Structure 1
């Protein structure tokens, strides 16, 4: 039995619309074309799929049985077409990554380098922004995949994959505290707190907003510079600040009675079908950081 995708497409549309005319409108084809495709499918299958009456069209029992399978085949064909488009996009050699500034660090950049090593001719664009901007770039398809702070609330119409966990550290100026010093809540409360603007999105407010004096930023490098200047302290991801701690420009302090907390990073993208191979390499590398 030989059949074609156009025949199946015409049959499925006719079954769903209840008429050749409705299927023709749905597929933007002529009614005669739709009826001919369905008739040719009936000929090659040697089955009657529709009972044709003067003013109506009624699907037969055989047609109902075929419909479910034909619908699946059409769905698989669409997925295959999307995959081919994704592969074609890779051959053009472009990949856009969106990175949350809160997580911007050497380890993440190394994951970008791993993609470049596997696809030497690819052109990689890295967008660095806030948690909200990363989400928006992916939703608007300005980025193929994003890495962001894990949000408590789900993001509609995006695929979310847990990436890795990290420690949240209290980081303060080396000019005010010793590395590892235990400080009271009152000591931190008396100093300005530098806050990454996504802290409200991830519902850290109660436990991590300590000071009455807030300096809000949208970039972790700004946070580091402000702390180095002695303008305040901040809660930061260990991976984003480790290099600066190693040089002792900044110090980690501990709050009395407190302990290190952990949070998650997650990757976001539109769907599995359109995720390109280079983007998948980035995803796998990021997940390996856990």
Structure 2
């Protein structure tokens, strides 16, 4: 059975859409439809119910899906194992990282990696850290360079690379800016703009506040720290950002009872073979 057909089948099953699957595979929608038709012809059964724009798995499709996942993952594991037999590091390396880490932490490392290992095709996906971790667990990505989970995830190994202190910030003309100290009660009296509640960073912030009996009034939430920096800088609310992002567009608020930090680092599946390219990148990442 052609792996390209299985890849198309899994993509459509996960996306619930031929159009979205085609975008993810960098193919045209007719090309994806053709692959699904070819697979259905080989199997002799329909894999999807197509009702208007809605796409759902048939009983045959639901039965095939776990086997398709396992087949594709076994092939990927074999590719990674074979890559270790060669002295020259090459092949494809699929990694996931957050936009913030990709912009502020990874460029020097990836620059050095591409100079030292030009035969490697880097397949970089920018997404939320939480999504990266799940993709690594599912075998869709080989490595993740992310905000590390606040609680251990089964079968996910992790390594701290960059400690990342967090600070409370606001616009320079914010009512709390310029004070020697800001109490938690004073802070809670003003609206906040914070990371989205699904993110590890949001959990770190809200748990620290809740331990002190404070519940922030969140005016707006977004996944992108660069956007939060802009929103705080124009006075929409106070925020919590990495200390490394401080500049003259922001004022740091000194909140003695609020000590915040997160950890940025590397994640990988403990039971999956790592390719030579993955091991080379891991060696280049600094150890905290």
Query: Is the pair's TM-score, using the shorter chain for normalization, greater than 0.5?
Result: yes
When the two structures are aligned, how many residues end up with a matched partner?
A: 204
Q: Which residue of 2 aligns with 1:269?
A: 268
2:48 match: none
User: 1:145 — aligned with what?
Assistant: 143
Shift of 1:170: 0.9
- Once the 2 structures are TM-superposed, how far is the Cα of residue 259 of structure 1 from its aligned partner? 5.5
TM-score normalised by the chain length of structure 1: 0.59
Distance 1:151 1:108 in 2: 19
Q: 1:285 to 1:174 in 2, by over 3 A?
A: farther
1:161 partner SS: strand
Give SS of 2:105's match. helix
Q: Residue 207 of structure 2 corresponds to which residue in structure 1?
A: 206
Task: Identify the residue that residue 109 of structure 1 maps to in structure 2.
Answer: 107
Alignment of 1:78-157 (within 5 A): 83-85=81-83, 93-101=91-99, 103-157=101-155
C-alpha distance in 1, partners of 2:173/2:155? 47
Q: Which residue of 2 aligns with 1:287?
A: 286
Give, in angstroms, the shift of residue 145 of structure 1: 0.7
Partner of 1:215: 220
Aligned to 2:187: 188
From 225, 230, 236, the equivalent of 2:235 is 230
Does the 8 A contact of 2:98 with 2:126 survive in 1?
Answer: yes
| Stretches of structure 2 lacking an aligned partner (at least 5 in a row) | 1-76
Of residues 108-117 and 202-211 in structure 1, the stretch that sits farther from structure 2 once superposed is 202-211
Q: TM-score, normalised by structure 2?
A: 0.59
Task: Find the counterpart in structure 2 of residue 28 from structure 1.
Answer: none
Deviation for aligned residue 1:271: 3.6
Greater Rg over alpha carbons, structure: 1
Q: CA deviation at 1:238?
A: 2.4
The correspondence for 1:166, drawn from 164, 167, 170, is 164
Aligned partners of 1:192 and 1:233 also within 8 Å = yes
**CA shift digits 1:123-175 (9 cap, x unpaired):** 32332222211112212333221022222322122222232322111121223
Equivalents in 2 of 1:85, 1:163: separation in Å?
25
Provide the aligned C-alpha RMSD in A: 3.1
Hey, what's the Cα distance between the residues in 2 that align with 1:127 and 1:80?
22
Instruction: Assess, with a 3 A threshold, how the Cα gap between structure 1 residues 277 and 91 changes in structure 2: closer, same or farther.
Output: closer
Contact 1:192–1:214, Cα closer than 8 Å, also in 2: yes
Cα distance between partner residues in 2 of 1:135 and 1:271: 12
Q: Secondary structure at the match of 1:175?
A: coil
Secondary structure of residue in 1 paired with 2:112: helix
Distance in 1 separating the partners of 2:223 and 2:114: 28
Query: What do residues 42-99 of structure 1 show as CA deviations (whole Å, max 9, x unaligned)?
Result: xxxxxxxxxxxxxxxxxxxxxxxxxxxxxxxxxxxxx9985324567x8654222211
In structure 1, runs of 5+ residues without a counterpart are: 1-78
